[in-house]
Amino acid sequence: MTTVTQMKCACESCLCIVDTSKALEKEGHYYCCDACASGHPDGAVGCGHTGCNCHR
């Protein structure tokens, strides 16, 4: 059996890879930051990580 410890942020347009032990978990999905986990409220673009301009 293999245990997954890293995966892509659950925000569709986000490029970040998150460590599941440190990621924000919301409804069974893992996110790199609050902006991604909350669906980029107020049209916020980007998660603050270099080179990533994600949005919902």
Token reading at 49: 């990580």
The model's pLDDT over 12-40, given as tens digits with 9 standing for 90+, comes to 999 999 999 999 999 999 999 999 999 99
- pLDDT band, residue 42 (cuts 50/70/90): confident
Distance, in Å, from the CA atom of 56 to the CA atom of 32, rounded to the nearest integer, reads 14
Unique residue bearing structure tokens 């490029």:
15
Domains and CATH numbers, the chain: 1-56 (2.30.170.10)
- Torsions phi, psi of 41, nearest 5? -65, 155
49, amino acid identity: H
pLDDT of the residue at 28: 94
Residue 1's Cα: distance from chain center in Å? 25
Token reading at 55: 């949005």
| Model confidence at 4: pLDDT above 90 | no
